[in-house]
């Protein structure tokens, strides 16, 4: 990696301002319902604590619209972090909580931190200046730091004060261990993939994935397209798709992408059979539209069919590199979940391959299918991983200090 890592910094006694992603779901009682994002950054936090840093953590939570909202306080995250560090490092480790992320009280609490102690600041987005990347706000954050570490890959595509602005006012800015892991895996996929390289793309809209397809079409050996986005491509090929989701304004582009793939000798595989229904409900009556047949009027394609599962799984089985972003159908509803879970199991079964899963729905699918522990890397950044796969530069990465 061309950027400084936390391992390159002298942390002894230093105040380390670490941007983390503690944007976790809270229940009505204010308790953390899913601590995955906190757990994912624990290795970086532990590294800083064990190297006697005075650690200042900062995150956003939810969308408070630039003003304080008690329902979006990070205080429950501080309590959960304290418990996790108790379990992993030692009992009684101190995790303080500052009632604001800037100002005299935050500065005083940060200045009084002892070596190995941790302070979590209140929600950055309680201030509109955070998302505006305001210079004065960035300077205020920098007052809490001797050096800066970004371990929040999920926000790296946002040019905010805590991801970009602050780096202008500290001497060194480095990637945390989770950030470094994300960049290493995704960078390897884009620049040095093992062959065959298979990309699986799904989700509702083809417009969401067009830049990814355009960037990957010169890099992959096979593209597997499922989900609602497949029906724009199928209609572009002349198939009758009934009431299936389609973006008519993207038909021309879909046809062009199919032509580009053919010209480059890339396998561009679309569903050959479909699970269809008239409505999206748990009790929907479904049937299979087999290969070569039109989807009837009044029916929607809502999952890939069994023959498509076999076709896609065969490509996945022979891959050396697999990237998956987007479900194969409306997997939240049981009648349309089989295809997505089958693909999750197929990806997990190819243990020699490097497999990377990104995007909230795909990540949810591998967890629900019970195969998350067999995926090489599960990305923590939905939007950030998509933009990285599109070939875009991420502001939060570009702002870090070069080696």
pLDDT tens by residue, 311-365: 999 999 999 999 999 999 999 999 999 999 999 999 999 989 999 998 878 888 9
Single out the residue of 347, 12, 41, 46 nearest to residue 178, CA to CA: 41
- Supply the CATH number for residue 29's domain: 3.40.50.1260
Based on the fold, state whether residues 208 and 307 are members of the same structural domain: yes
**401 domain-assigned:** no
Based on the fold, state whether residues 146 and 205 are members of the same structural domain: no
Based on the fold, state whether residues 218 and 320 are members of the same structural domain: yes
User: For the chain, what percent of residues have pLDDT higher than 70?
Assistant: 99
Phi, psi of 279 (to 5 degrees): -150, 160
**Over the stretch 258-292, which tens digit does the pLDDT of each residue have?**
999 999 999 999 999 999 999 999 999 999 999 88
Number of domains in the chain: 2
* Mean pLDDT value of segment 59-81: 96
Based on the fold, state whether residues 174 and 190 are members of the same structural domain: no
**Over the stretch 372-403, which tens digit does the pLDDT of each residue have?**
999 999 988 878 888 888 888 999 999 999 99
pTM of the model: 0.89
Q: How far apart are CA 358 and CA 332, in angstroms?
A: 17
Q: Edge-to-edge strands of the sheet including 15-19?
A: 95-98, 118-121, 54-58, 15-19, 147-150, 173-175
Full domain range(s) for residue 80 = 6-178
**96 domain-assigned:** yes
Taking CA atoms, 395 is separated from 52, 105, 135, in Å, by 29, 30, 16
Check pLDDT > 90 for residue 1.
no
**127 domain-assigned:** yes
**Is 181 labeled as catalytic in the residue annotation?**
no
Based on the fold, state whether residues 27 and 126 are members of the same structural domain: yes
**395 domain-assigned:** no
**H helices of 95-146, where?**
104-111, 128-131, 135-142
Which of 205, 267, 307, 374 is catalytic? The answer is: 205
Q: How far apart are CA 308 and CA 269, in angstroms?
A: 9
Which of 3, 15, 19, 37 is catalytic? The answer is: 37
**Is 205 labeled as catalytic in the residue annotation?**
yes
**Is 360 labeled as catalytic in the residue annotation?**
yes
**192 domain-assigned:** yes
Based on the fold, state whether residues 16 and 158 are members of the same structural domain: yes
**Over the stretch 204-244, which tens digit does the pLDDT of each residue have?**
888 888 889 999 998 999 999 999 999 999 999 999 999 99
Which of 50, 360, 392, 403 is catalytic? The answer is: 360
**End-of-domain residue from the set 178, 195, 215:** 178
**End-of-domain residue from the set 151, 178, 205:** 178
């Amino acid at each position: 990696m061309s950027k400084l890592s936390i391992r390159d910094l002298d942390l002894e006694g230093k105040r380390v301002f670490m941007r983390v992603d503690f944007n976790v779901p809270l229940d009505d009682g204010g308790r953390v319902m899913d601590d995955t994002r906190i757990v994912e950054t624990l290795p970086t936090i532990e590294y800083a604590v064990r190297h006697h840093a005075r650690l200042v953590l900062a995150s956003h939570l939810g969308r408070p619209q630039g003003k304080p909202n008690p329902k979006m306080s990070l205080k429950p995250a501080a309590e959960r972090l304290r418990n996790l560090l108790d379990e992993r490092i030692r009992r009684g480790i101190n995790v303080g909580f500052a009632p604001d992320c800037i100002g005299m009280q935050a500065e005083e609490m940060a200045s009084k931190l002892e070596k190995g102690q941790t302070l979590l600041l209140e929600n950055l987005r309680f201030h509109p200046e955070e998302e505006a990347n305001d210079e004065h706000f960035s300077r205020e954050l920098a007052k809490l730091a001797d050096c800066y570490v970004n371990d929040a890959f999920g926000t790296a595509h946002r040019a905010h004060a805590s991801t970009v602005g602050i780096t202008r006012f500290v001497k060194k800015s480095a990637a945390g261990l989770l950030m470094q892991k994300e960049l290493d895996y995704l960078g390897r996929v884009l620049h040095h993939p093992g062959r065959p390289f298979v990309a699986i793309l799904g989700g509702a809209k083809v417009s969401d994935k067009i830049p990814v397809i355009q960037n990957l079409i010169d890099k992959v050996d096979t593209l597997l397209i499922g989900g609602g986005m497949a029906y724009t491509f199928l209609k572009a090929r002349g198939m009758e798709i009934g009431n299936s989701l389609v973006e008519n304004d993207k038909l021309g582009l879909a046809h062009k992408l199919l032509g580009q793939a053919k010209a480059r000798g890339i396998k561009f595989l679309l569903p050959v059979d479909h699970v269809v229904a008239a409505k999206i409900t748990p009790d929907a009556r479904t049937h299979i539209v087999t290969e070569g047949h039109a989807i009837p009027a009044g029916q929607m394609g809502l999952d890939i069919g069994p023959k498509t599962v076999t076709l896609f799984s065969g490509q996945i089985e022979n891959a050396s590199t697999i990237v998956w972003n987007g479900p194969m159908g409306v997997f939240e509803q049981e009648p349309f979940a089989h295809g997505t879970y089958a693909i999750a199991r197929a990806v997990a079964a190819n243990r020699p391959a490097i497999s990377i899963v990104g995007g909230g729905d795909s990540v949810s699918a591998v967890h629900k299918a019970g195969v998350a522990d067999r995926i090489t890397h599960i990305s923590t950044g939905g939007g950030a991983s998509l933009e990285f796969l599109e070939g875009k530069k991420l502001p939060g990465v570009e702002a870090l200090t070069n080696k």
